[in-house]
Amino acid sequence: MAFDADEEILQDFLVEAGEILEKLSEQLVDLEQHPDDSDLLNAIFRGFHTVKGGAGFLQLDALVRCCHSAENVFDILRNHKRKVDSELMDVVLEALDHVNAMFEQVRHHEELTPAPDELIAALDALAKPAGEAPAAEKPTEQEESATAASPADNGDITDDEFEQLLDALDDDKSSSPATPASDSQSNGGDDEISDDEFEALLDQLHGKGQFAGPPESVKADDSTPKESDQTGVGGADDLISDDEFEKLLDDLHGKGGSPTAETSNASPAPADKKPQAEGKGGSTSAAPAMPSRDTNAPVAETSVRVDTKRLDDIMNMVGELVLVRNRLQRLGAQSEDEHMHKAVSNLDVVTTDLQSAVMATRMQPIKKVFGRFPRVVRDLARNLKKEINLEMHGEDTDLDKNLVEALSDPLVHLVRNSVDHGIETPDVREKAGKPRQGTVILSAEQEGDHILLSIEDDGAGMDPDVLRRKAVEKGIYEQDAADRLTNAECYNLIFAAGFSTKDQISDVSGRGVGMDVVKTKIGQLNGQLSVESELGKGSRIIIKVPLTLAIMPTLMIMLGDQSFALPLVNVVEIFHLDLSKKNIVDGRECIVVRDKVFPLFHIKRWLVKGAAGEPEPENAHVVIVAMGTRRVGFVVDQLIGQEEVVIKPLGRALQGTPGMAGATITGDGRIALIIDVPSLLQNYG
């Protein structure tokens, strides 16, 4: 394993191959739905080939072997010698799992664990035309001899192997009258190859005209340097080196072409083109580009790789700058100096722009998470004998990279839940007058400074009465309290710990763990969960999370002489209230606003020492806050206004304090605690 290779080359391989492997998972599932899509077959073939090429350059032989066998399968498929079916896809997807596992081992500089011999044998069997005896296909032999590198030769092709390749081409040429004559024998058996012979070799590999040489007028003029000399094909005395030939074969076979055009920055220049187009950064090949002999300056890099820790450090510094700006704004408001006001105003604009720019560098498309779901749904549907179509919308919606990583597991739980609990079996759906194939829709969209994610299915929906009965059985509610639950509150019971509507425990579900973890995780992200459902029609779970976790918009409030920050995502509305108009329901204070009843909480009694015995004021400000479908009113002493704050973790002594998400420094230089609304109500309400 050649990890002593140039670290930059290894990183290039990890970046490009990582993108290709992410895409391959989606493409393979898509291919099962559209088995005759030739563009898709070619894209998958190129994907495995490109990863194989980069792995070969780094001498990752186990990875090369697995990719090569998978590549051969798709060569047969794209030549219409075999049909795509579920059994074939099972084998190929298993191969992709092993390729991904080896790729992660490469990323961590670990020894590779080769794919099982049985899997390679299964791939090789599928790489033969359907119904034929196991006989080696000549195109496969030629490609293998041209691209499979010998470990003993450090990935290079030997002179003997090259001679065998030429012999094989000559044999094919002599047996095919349609092949143009070639004088490749005229070199007298030495190790040199002339330009004409090389052109004939290209014609043999790809058909006449695809890689035609220069015009005859140019060839006739010996004083004009040949283009093949510029690309290293001719060179002095018409010699071709092993490295140059490896690179040439990779270019000819699609090396550098990634599975989709979107992930490719540029296509490698064909061998008979001038090399200016293949400057530094112009090739997306995993292996390094062949050194250009052109004296022109290389094309400038358009991107640079930055360690994510550095981005986090910059974001933290921007956060500190936001705090300083808030402080200066507060001081500037107390000053009557016009120049001071103007300077603070300019600082505000620059800080806001800088904050947006740094946030943009940390943004990633939600596609990073969505890309894994076609495979998850496909495998689970086959396991449960269901027919399911997955639709995804808004994959290009951007959000903070930390959120992308944090949302991955909760979304997997929710999608698996829709497939297992939501969608019925084909026979049941047919009896209910539905199409046999169920649909799961995964969507994302930006709404202001938040992201809305929804997981929707057209399955059986949820029965509120069943949920009430289960809640009583599990001891979550007494019968009277369960009877008073609204339908929306019943749907939210699925997030209670240990709650499950399944009577049978399987390897997929039934233990009542998973959904409570989802709720906890979304809460940690300052997000909200809500559920909509209609019996017989389907269910929809909506997640609302902030664009970034680093800087949070809040409503600053005062309780006594202490300031607190309420996350703006939880705030629904604010009003002034005459507390003499409150009501008592079930022993709890409530207020009625527009015919809706809201429980009322004096959070000052919970959070401020000594406030419990104070007399109640006649008038107060009330902030209506939301957690999912639940709405409650918080009584506060004073409203300061909206302020963007930087979340600072609590010290070790205060970590885990109920109802507190962290702390921040306010514009007047004081410390304010950030309220965690769900945790506050859970522990005190």
- In this structure, the answer to whether residues 562 and 539 fall within a common structural domain is no
The whole-number pLDDT of residue 228 equals 40
- In this structure, the answer to whether residues 253 and 122 fall within a common structural domain is yes
- In this structure, the answer to whether residues 449 and 575 fall within a common structural domain is no
The whole-number pLDDT of residue 142 equals 42
Share of the chain above pLDDT 70, in %: 73
* Contacting residues for 275 by C-beta, under 8 A, at least 6 apart: 230, 231, 269, 290, 292, 293, 294
| pLDDT tens for each residue of 581-627 | 777 877 788 888 887 888 888 888 888 876 666 777 777 889 999 87
> CA-CA distance, 317 to 320, in Å (whole number)?
5
| pLDDT tens for each residue of 228-246 | 444 444 444 456 777 777 6
Quick one: three-class SS letters along 83-148?
A: CCCHHHHHHHHHHHHHHHHHHHHHHCCCCCCCCCHHHHHHHHHHCCCCCCCCCCCHHHHHHHHHHC
| pLDDT tens for each residue of 556-590 | 998 888 889 998 888 888 988 877 777 787 778 88
CATH number at residue 409: 3.30.565.10
Question: 115-119, 161-165, 497-501: lowest mean pLDDT where?
Answer: 161-165
- The verdict on residue 2 lying in a domain is no
Output the six-digit token pair for 380.
């689970």
- In this structure, the answer to whether residues 577 and 650 fall within a common structural domain is yes
| pLDDT tens for each residue of 354-363 | 988 888 888 8
CATH number at residue 348: 1.10.287
CATH number at residue 149: 1.20.120.160
Q: Cα–chain-centroid distance for residue 362?
A: 14
- Cβ neighbour number for residue 207 with a 10 Å cutoff: 10
The whole-number pLDDT of residue 96 equals 92
In the structure, what pLDDT confidence band is assigned to residue 304 with cuts at 50, 70 and 90?
confident
- The verdict on residue 29 lying in a domain is yes
Task: Give SS3 for 185.
Answer: helix
> CA-CA distance, 352 to 375, in Å (whole number)?
40
- In this structure, the answer to whether residues 169 and 91 fall within a common structural domain is yes
- In this structure, the answer to whether residues 516 and 528 fall within a common structural domain is yes
Give which of 452, 442, 628 is closest to 523, Cα–Cα: 628
Burial class (CB in 10 A: 0-12, 13-18, 19+), 65: middle
- The verdict on residue 204 lying in a domain is yes
> What pTM does this model have?
0.60
Domain containing residue 49: 7-278
Contact call for residues 516 and 496 (beta carbons, < 8 A) = yes
DSSP label of 530? E
Beta strands in 144-292 (DSSP E): none
Share of the chain above pLDDT 90, in %: 14
| pLDDT tens for each residue of 414-466 | 999 899 888 999 999 999 899 999 999 999 998 877 889 999 999 999 989 99
Last residue of one domain, picked from the residues 364, 387, 406: 364
Between 59 and 170, whose confidence is greater? 59
> CA-CA distance, 234 to 248, in Å (whole number)?
12
- In this structure, the answer to whether residues 334 and 408 fall within a common structural domain is no
**Sequence letter at residue 5:** A
The whole-number pLDDT of residue 272 equals 44
Would you put residue 256 in left (φ > 0), alpha (ψ -120 to 50) or beta?
A: left
Contact call for residues 108 and 82 (beta carbons, < 8 A) = no
Output the six-digit token pair for 27.
């493409």
**What's the mean pLDDT in 170-197?**
52
- In this structure, the answer to whether residues 538 and 561 fall within a common structural domain is no
- The Cα diameter of the chain in Å comes to 109
Contact call for residues 313 and 550 (beta carbons, < 8 A) = no
- In this structure, the answer to whether residues 387 and 412 fall within a common structural domain is yes
- The verdict on residue 226 lying in a domain is yes
DSSP label of 290? P
Beta strands in 243-375 (DSSP E): 363-365
* Contacting residues for 196 by C-beta, under 8 A, at least 6 apart: 183
In the structure, what pLDDT confidence band is assigned to residue 546 with cuts at 50, 70 and 90?
confident
| pLDDT tens for each residue of 93-144 | 999 999 999 999 988 888 889 999 999 999 999 988 876 644 444 444 444 4
The whole-number pLDDT of residue 541 equals 93
Q: How far is residue 500 from each of residues 483, 494, 517, 684, measured CA to CA in Å?
A: 19, 7, 13, 27
The whole-number pLDDT of residue 453 equals 92
CATH number at residue 672: 2.40.50.180
User: Does the structure show a pLDDT above 60 at 252?
Assistant: yes
Q: How far is residue 400 from each of residues 270, 450, 546, measured CA to CA in Å?
A: 39, 11, 9
- The verdict on residue 294 lying in a domain is no
- In this structure, the answer to whether residues 381 and 521 fall within a common structural domain is yes
Output the six-digit token pair for 346.
């300019």
Output the six-digit token pair for 519.
């709720």
- In this structure, the answer to whether residues 91 and 199 fall within a common structural domain is yes
In the structure, what pLDDT confidence band is assigned to residue 284 with cuts at 50, 70 and 90?
very low
- The verdict on residue 422 lying in a domain is yes
Q: Cα–chain-centroid distance for residue 372?
A: 7
| pLDDT tens for each residue of 342-397 | 999 999 999 989 988 888 888 888 888 888 888 889 889 989 999 999 999 998 88
> CA-CA distance, 91 to 312, in Å (whole number)?
41
Question: 167-181, 427-441, 622-636: lowest mean pLDDT where?
Answer: 167-181
In the structure, what pLDDT confidence band is assigned to residue 545 with cuts at 50, 70 and 90?
confident
- In this structure, the answer to whether residues 68 and 52 fall within a common structural domain is yes
DSSP label of 220? H
Q: How many domains does the chain have?
A: 4
- Cβ neighbour number for residue 134 with a 10 Å cutoff: 8
- The verdict on residue 481 lying in a domain is yes
Between 24 and 613, whose confidence is greater? 24
- The verdict on residue 303 lying in a domain is no
